[in-house]
Chain A
């Protein structure tokens, strides 16, 4: 049995979270001293049976009350700002991160790398590189928790959520599901394995995937018949997809949405939900016809058709 106090610190964010932790611990210790020391003194000094001056004092009650209302409020607001700053950094993925897809299902984590490599309950990442996880669930809500990086994010069915980290230390770290998801919730665990960039490259090559994620998506794109309408200049029945990702899309109800992963997903599964301006609702729904992993492959393909953050080709 070991006696650890802090989990392993494997990123800058982990360090920042620990700093916030120490800050909060210090202020708590101070508050405890401010309350418990006088309390102990009073309990000792004014115990029944001890002679002491007990004549009531007329203290400036309002001033005292306002002091211990406003001073804590001020201190609380400092911690609010501190916590909010860290949160903004953690919640907003930086651009140009390496995107890795994760699909949670009862009770395993399925991972797809852009190069096409797949793994289960393990996540290999390169050291020193921003890694962004794009996550969804096949069934219930899960949560991908990496204690060594001090990050977690719910993995919600029906939508994409993201989390990011930049590993600063080589090693293998816990990966937990931290949203209760049924019988074997506590077995939905795995590891993040941080490799040097060279090792990572070697690991990718060793896996020898037949095709990259985008190529698999392209194959699906043809098999499912998407290309019949969305490709080619002759038939203009469906909106073109080249350069679409990340761009604003005007809709027939005059709304404008950004073509992100969530939009693409909804357009494939619920085509009637958002109709692009100038088009009619001719597209069939692909609900039940594509798995979550296949959806992510198709999205990777659409992204590769020209976007602000092009998918790396081998």
Chain B
């Protein structure tokens, strides 16, 4: 892009004169060295511990729900318990796993490395955001452990302020505090990407993961405050009886939905854009080709982030909003699908005439494309107003957003985790087990969630503890698939931990990838690079004609 710079060599990184201490070794192994660290890499790992913990809680809730739903009658747990289970599952997965998953774990680790910086712009703020996140998480755990919350993750009014006698206020406070962690992380990424790029790294030499992280950060910074306001208003109504949403106090319950979705719809893109960023890194690397349509992929991330702010009303087509505003929201929802489609087409085109290595990260990335397509296409179903009226609030919607968030984001997270695992830990994971797990997850996922489309169209409403008998077959399939999916998720947990001690030592660049993060040892030294790298080339300068020997565990 920058014609004045020579485009000859790869980035000039002189070999380090001596072996630098890794970020594990430097600073020591004490608890204090971790809890007081300002190193973005260690903070990334701290986040990894936190989100695995929250994922486990939310996954257990899901497992219990799937067990309950094997039979039509609500016979395993009471309705109250079931309602608390889906609230725990939703709220924890959204705010304490999905939103921080790729940005706070992988983003924290690789963003400074990818831009050739020593750390993020505000390292102390970065540590603060981890503490805020955990403080919020603790409040959420407190609400769950001491009685639970039964409002659903959406806290719809006036149920949550006037009718629910559960721990709504502490849960809301936890999410409120964790929101500040999101804002600070987003701010840190925006400032770092603006100011800390290595010499020569112009905007159009940024790897696409950074474009998507940047777009995600815009949403984190702009949308999260609206959630904070909404939650404060819920608490004010619940504690002091200030009439805002409850019609008996003169409030408007539909106003709550507008405010909630004004955050939560953009937040859906927080839960997919980073996954798209990972896929945009993995696909070129494992097909040894520059990404097709770099600019379109980059700008489609920004377009998704911006258009994503104007579609919140598509959650409210049957809420009694005006038919004319529904028209506008429906059209905007179709528009936001276009940049997503552009990405899928470009990824597919990148494979053409490439040299394809079906390694674990690539298998996850391909799985991402498939599952995201299914989720995206059914998004078009839901955006069609007349269709939406029938399936709104049914399992069709549940299937749709799980295809995006689990099929998309979790698969993207696993792609990224495997891709950068050698860099993060200095160890290789066992390749054959990695591929096996990717396959099991793909199969288990589809068995779990595909039947939910069918049962949703049949009319099974979501959040139903007991259901009509004709829906049973699909629920049994779904529960069976969930157990396969559970095995699929356990496998990486086991072999990745195993690899920490027993995995083969990783070279600096096992995948022969082009990003700056691969130009430094694995694991990187504390300050990332012995010398600040200078970027002279566009990203993804792979050539499919050369057969590379990738290093496997």
Contacts and interface: CB of A to CB of B under 8 A. Distances in A.
Contact of B320 (A28, A140, A161): A161
B387 A17 contact: yes
B383 A46 contact: no
A204 B476 CA distance: 42
A43 B459 contact: no
A35 B373 CA distance: 9
A243 to B, nearest CB: 28
B490 interface: no
A80 B156 contact: no
A39 interface: yes
A195 B125 CA distance: 67
Given A72-B338, A150-B390, A182-B159, A24 B381 contact: yes
Contacts of B331: 77, 80
Interface in A25-54: 27-28, 31-32, 35-36, 38-39, 42-43, 46-48, 52-54
Contacts of A68: 341-342, 345
Interface residues on A, range: 35 or more
Given A46-B287, A76-B380, A154-B318, A92 B323 contact: yes
A193 to B, nearest CB: 16
Contact of B334 (A76, A148, A151): A76
A27 B154 CA distance: 32
Interface in B290-334: 292-293, 296, 317-320, 323, 326-327, 330-331, 334
B389 A28 contact: no
A150 B391 CA distance: 8
A176 interface: yes
Contact of A87 (B289, B292, B326, B476): B326
B426 interface: no
B247 interface: yes
A84 interface: yes
Interface string B442-466: 0000000000001001110111111
Given A20-B386, A56-B544, A145-B461, A2 B470 contact: yes
A250 B451 CA distance: 55
B392 interface: yes
B337 interface: yes
A38 B292 CA distance: 15
What is the size category of the interface that chain B forms with chain A? Answer: 35 or more
A73 interface: yes
A1 interface: yes
Interface string A50-91: 001111110001001100110011001101101111111111
A77 B338 CA distance: 11
A184 interface: yes
A155 B222 CA distance: 32
B150 A182 contact: yes
Given A48-B356, A79-B334, A156-B320, A65 B380 contact: no
A177 interface: yes
Given A54-B353, A83-B386, A140 B323 contact: no
B344 A35 contact: yes
Contacts of B390: 17, 147, 150-152
B470 A47 contact: no
A64 B547 contact: no
Contacts of B326: 87, 91
Contacts of A117: none
B393 A143 contact: yes
A178 B392 contact: yes
Interface in B379-418: 380-381, 383-390, 392-394
A7 B459 contact: yes
Contacts of B547: 48
B357 interface: yes
Nearest to B348: A39
A86 B387 contact: yes
B503 interface: no
Given A77-B334, A84-B327, A183-B80, A4 B458 contact: yes
B353 A1 contact: no
Contact of A6 (B292, B457, B463, B466): B457
A184 B79 contact: yes
Interface string B512-553: 000000000000000000000000000000011101000000
B465 A48 contact: no
A300 to B, nearest CB: 21
Among B80, B317, B378, residue most surrounded by chain A Cβ atoms (within 10 Å): B317
Given A35-B345, A84-B386, A158-B247, A181 B159 contact: yes
A187 interface: yes
B387 A21 contact: yes
B358 interface: yes
Contacts of B357: 48
A172 B70 CA distance: 26
A226 to B, nearest CB: 22
Interface string B332-365: 0011011001101110110111111110000000
A157 interface: yes
B355 A48 contact: yes
Given A46-B351, A80-B334, A176-B459, A87 B389 contact: yes
B391 to A, nearest CB: 9
A87 B386 CA distance: 4
B369 interface: yes
Given A46-B544, A182-B163, A140 B392 contact: no
A124 interface: no
22 contacts: A2-B470, A24-B380, A35-B345, A36-B373, A38-B348, A43-B358, A46-B287, A46-B354, A48-B355, A48-B356, A68-B341, A72-B337, A84-B330, A87-B389, A139-B163, A140-B162, A141-B158, A143-B318, A185-B83, A185-B465, A186-B464, A186-B467
Given A106-B163, A159-B247, 16 more contacts: A4-B470, A17-B386, A35-B369, A54-B354, A68-B342, A87-B323, A87-B388, A88-B323, A91-B389, A140-B162, A141-B156, A143-B393, A151-B389, A154-B319, A182-B83, A186-B467
Interface of A: 1-7, 16-17, 20-21, 24, 27-28, 31-32, 35-36, 38-39, 42-43, 46-48, 52-57, 61, 64-65, 68-69, 72-73, 76-77, 79-80, 82-92, 106, 139-141, 143, 145, 147-148, 150-154, 156-159, 161, 174, 176-187, 189
Interface of B: 74, 79-80, 83, 150, 152, 154, 156-159, 162-164, 247-248, 252-254, 287, 289, 292-293, 296, 317-320, 323, 326-327, 330-331, 334-335, 337-338, 341-342, 344-346, 348-349, 351-358, 366, 369-370, 373, 377-378, 380-381, 383-390, 392-394, 454, 457-459, 461-468, 470, 472-473, 476, 543-545, 547
CB-based closest 10 A-B pairs: A86-B386, A147-B459, A158-B247, A83-B384, A87-B385, A42-B351, A186-B464, A178-B461, A150-B390, A178-B393
